[in-house]
Structure 1
Amino acid sequence: MNLVSQCLNILMMLFRKLGILTIITIYLLVLAGGIVRSTGSGMGCPDWPKCFGMLIPPTDVSQLPHNYQEIYAEKLHGEVEFNVTKTWIEYANRLLGAFTGIVVFATFLASIFYYFKKDRVIVYLSFLGVILIGANGVLGKYVVDSFLKPGVVTLHMLLAVLVVFVLLYAIARAWSEVISIETISRKSTLNMILVLTLVLSTSQVLLGTQVREAIDRVVANPLFGYDRNTWIEQMGLPFFIHRSYSLLILGLHVYLIWLLKKNIQREGLTYKFMVALLAIVIIEIISGIIMAYFGVPAFIQPIHLTLAILSLGIQFIVYLLINAERVFKASKS
């Protein structure tokens, strides 16, 4: 192997590994965002990109100007009270967001050097990932400026899901060079059920954001906000739809497993992903049950959210694997 071939091989492996790191950091960012949301730390830093006007936030209220409550009163609707824990949770979330942006950009650069001539779709997708992650960062600023406006928070999360889909496709195309295409029968039926599952699962995530917004309204109510055991009964219709809908999602996944078991080899990669997906959906439902019957524990909420986004990502991977012969045609040539 000559020097040029060795360098190209290094760049190829660099892109693949950076791609995996990118997906991991994005999911960690989703988890961090869930922690921010569940702990009420979204306004822990009332300004952006600095935090209380500082590059590194304070660790004690004595480090802030004596009139800091007046400075940020309008932005925070008068609810200004420095909380070091919430401030540093939000600050850590921002640092992770910045790191994710760097990794996504590095992935794009690696794609240029190896895939620009070989498979430009990977380069275009990687660049789109950079644009989307940047847009989500800007949207994160608006989340702060809008005082956690509900619709904006939901859009912020959905944009993160779109980033996952775009980069998963790019990374899957790169790895398809070394993954054998499985023989799968009844693809049309599997695709129909899988697309339906993706659409309904995404709808379930949206319903979950409505439940989260309902929780925010309950927390803001002085009659119920301090008693977690009363939150569920105050949430109304969005929660009950979300809870019942989960049984439909579970049923679809069980049916998908049954179809895959009949139409693909059980030792194949697609089947393994599908089994992992079913396990995640079951754990996801269990976490929802814990929230419903144990006063919505704060530590469960980010886990519940991350599992939901993780399940969407795996559903998308299964779709790509089922249709590998078509969607990865260019990368195989």
Structure 2
Amino acid sequence: MKRSVRFPVSATLLRRLAYASIVANVAIVVTGGAVRLTASGLGCPTWPRCTDDSYHATPEMGVHGVIEYGNRLLTFAVGAIALAVVVAVLLHRPRRQGLLPLAVAVLFGIPAQAVIGGITVLTNLNPWVVGLHFLASMVVIAAAYALWRRIGKPDGPTLPTVPAPLRALALLTTVVSAAVLVVGTWVTGSGPHAGDHGAARNGLDPEAISQVHADGVFLLVGLSVALVFAFRAVGARRAERAAVMLLAVELGQGVIGFVQYFTHLPAVLVGAHMLGSCLVLLATLAVLSSTRERRPTPVAPAAAAPEATPSAPVPAAA
């Protein structure tokens, strides 16, 4: 006998929890940036302990220890939300395909990202590892977004909403967006905000790598403009709105990037730029997902029962 779920979770509640997971993972990127921008990256000089003798910050460590330890504590809050999402997925009815793997990926991605963060401390804030730490967060955010978009959708095939060339253009835009994020970590690794006054830099020329990053941004903006007009031409309104939003986010992020560069990288603008990177990623994923739509699996019509063949009349008995 099949057991019923005593506390079923609605799609609305599940979607809100998934959205909270996105917000929490974006928030910890911003707070992680605050750790680096306040030179608190080695506020806790070891990992997983904060000091050799304590798992928490001590008064002698000052404000840098508080900031770094506070960011570590936030990891538990983000993980708790991810765990709540997994439990909600298990209780959700009807059970949708693909939700549980995405929820589990987000849940396990958080400790994996925390381990990379620990390695950054153990390597004295090696800029390449710091960049990997940021990119790992981007992967978790992408998985959380995919989960959020999947909730409430029917179990069925994903069908294209735009012609194949435009889907390829959207995929190319996504690849360029990811490349811009990667090069952005190289720019950060060459700049002044190392997370600690004694941390090494990656050795790249800041001006040259910033130009490479800017060139990638120009390409990304150009591709986004092309998507807006292409989607409009084929009447794909949802995809067009997503592309317009992506373009708006990119322009805002570009303005912050140029202002921070020409004002010698003030910490507040660098932090805003990190938030903008998360928003660019989410807007890019929204464009990509708008090129396909999940539709219910068509139900095959029931086979009609064969008509009964009338039998020959039986002759009456004599």
Q: TM-score, normalised by structure 1?
A: 0.77
Aligned letter for 1:44?
Answer: G
**Does 1:312 find its partner at 2:281?**
yes
Q: Identity rate of aligned residues, in percent?
A: 24
Name structure 2 gaps, 5 residues minimum.
300-318
- Residues 1-333 of structure 1 aligned to structure 2 (within 5 Å): 7-8=7-8, 10-52=9-51, 53-59=53-59, 61=60, 82=61, 84-114=62-92, 118-177=95-154, 184-186=161-163, 188-216=164-192, 235-264=206-235, 266=237, 268=238, 270-325=239-294
Tell me, yes or no, if the aligned pair for 1:207 and 1:242 is still in contact at 8 Å.
Answer: yes
Aligned letter for 2:36?
Answer: R
Give the alignment's Cα RMSD to 1 decimal.
3.1
Q: Which residue of 2 aligns with 1:228?
A: none
Q: How far is 1:289 from its partner?
A: 0.7
Change (3 A) 1:259 1:6: farther
Tell me, yes or no, if the aligned pair for 2:40 and 2:68 is still in contact at 8 Å.
Answer: yes
- Matched position secondary structure for 1:324: strand
Change (3 A) 1:280 1:95: same
Give per-residue Cα distances to partners, 1:16-38, cap 9 Å, x unaligned.
11100000000111111222222
Give per-residue Cα distances to partners, 1:149-202, cap 9 Å, x unaligned.
22221221221111122222222111335xxx999442x122111111111111
Tell me, yes or no, if the aligned pair for 2:7 and 2:91 is still in contact at 8 Å.
Answer: no
- Partners of 2:197 and 2:209 in 1: how far apart? 18
Change (3 A) 1:175 1:301: farther
Name structure 1 gaps, 5 residues minimum.
62-81, 226-232
Change (3 A) 1:218 1:317: closer
Tell me, yes or no, if the aligned pair for 1:210 and 1:238 is still in contact at 8 Å.
Answer: yes
- Partners of 2:197 and 2:206 in 1: how far apart? 12
Deviates more, 1:18-27 or 1:142-151: 142-151
Q: Which residue of 2 aligns with 1:78?
A: none
Q: Which residue of 1 aligns with 2:313?
A: none
Q: TM-score, normalised by structure 2?
A: 0.80
Q: How far is 1:280 from its partner?
A: 1.0
Q: How far is 1:129 from its partner?
A: 1.5
Aligned letter for 2:73?
Answer: L
Q: How far is 1:51 from its partner?
A: 2.7
How many residues get paired?
288
Change (3 A) 1:30 1:146: same
Aligned letter for 1:100?
Answer: V
Larger % of helix: which?
Answer: 1
- Partners of 1:120 and 1:249 in 2: how far apart? 33
Tell me, yes or no, if the aligned pair for 1:150 and 1:213 is still in contact at 8 Å.
Answer: yes
Larger Cα Rg: Structure 1 or Structure 2?
2
Q: How far is 1:210 from its partner?
A: 0.8
Aligned letter for 2:104?
Answer: F
- Partners of 1:106 and 1:213 in 2: how far apart? 35
Tell me, yes or no, if the aligned pair for 1:287 and 1:304 is still in contact at 8 Å.
Answer: yes
Tell me, yes or no, if the aligned pair for 1:51 and 1:91 is still in contact at 8 Å.
Answer: yes
Aligned letter for 1:36?
Answer: V
- Matched position secondary structure for 2:46: coil
Tell me, yes or no, if the aligned pair for 2:43 and 2:64 is still in contact at 8 Å.
Answer: yes
